[in-house]
Amino acid sequence: MPATNLVRTGFCLAILLVVLCACAVAAEPQTILLWPDGAPGSERKNSASKIPEEVVRVTENGEHIVSGIHHPSITAYLPAEDKSTGAAVVIAPGGGHRELWMDHEGYNVAKWLSHHGVAAFVLKYRLAREPGSTYTVEGSALPDIKRAIRLVRSRALQWGLNPERIGVMGFSAGGELAALAATRVDAGTAAATDPVEHESSKPAFQALLYPAIPHDMNLSKETPPAFLACGEDDRQDIAQGLPELYLALKRAGVSTELHVYAGVGHGFGVRESNGPPVSGWTQVFLEWLLRTLPARKQVH
């Protein structure tokens, strides 16, 4: 082959490699701080707190467990444009408000949803029951998830989302947080200097997976539609409490769907080891979501 052809071929291969690398980088999920200048109540935690800055523990099975969260954030998993339904969900992993199990209750769920046309945002929220923590569920974690909803809504145009189709999903302690976010809503603050705070915190729907159930949810017919799921073998306050929550929601006039999986305990999330029928809960949720939400509006 002539030297000029070799040079030309090498140049084309180099360009192709650059393009492929750029696409790979573009496909990487983006992590966004909820408050770029520091979360309210966390501004001085780096130096003053006894809790170290974000620690990641990896289990024998390769699962990532995070603690020491002083800078709450969301990690965005966006669907391909030709697959997008315009719907989005903020996902709160569980961990007893002491840590966050990021894979089977976060990233794995987000990957599945984004592959099926639903944008997903995995939330790292501040932990109220971590040893030495000065955070609280209602004073720190709840503002985090409400801020996440506002942030996603504020970027709906940028991400090709319908602001009326943004909801919450939570697992275990994250389910408690999602339930609180769905029942303690506000319309935003029009006079705020931060434009994110102009947005409503009300989710369009709530998906509660084996949640710790708040004692006072203030249910009404204005409460967002709910998807509820747990295992029959979970602890009593969940395996029995979630059907009781279903009945309470129905009495309040809220559209609700409940699934209790026989022979299943706590913490199933999305794992390769899950067998049917619980392994199919994501598909059941997706079908419920697309039936429940208002028709997709064109995003300009």
pLDDT score for 44: 58
What tokens appear for 132 in the block?
């030495």
224-263 pLDDT, tens digit each: 999 999 999 999 999 999 999 999 999 999 999 999 999 9
Q: Helical H runs in the chain?
A: 3-27, 45-48, 108-115, 142-154, 156-159, 173-183, 236-239, 241-251, 281-292
pLDDT score for 296: 54
pLDDT score for 35: 96
Report phi then psi at 298, rounded to 5.
Answer: -65, 135
pLDDT at 49 over 60: no
How many Cα atoms are found within 13 Å in the side-chain-facing hemisphere of 275?
Answer: 4
* Contact indicator for 91, 203 with CB cutoff of 8 Å: no
pLDDT at 297 over 60: no
Strand order in the sheet with 30-33: 30-33, 73-77, 119-124, 88-92, 166-171, 206-209, 226-231, 256-261
Mean pLDDT for the chain overall: 90
pLDDT score for 50: 62
Domains of the chain as residue ranges with CATH: 28-292 (3.40.50.1820)
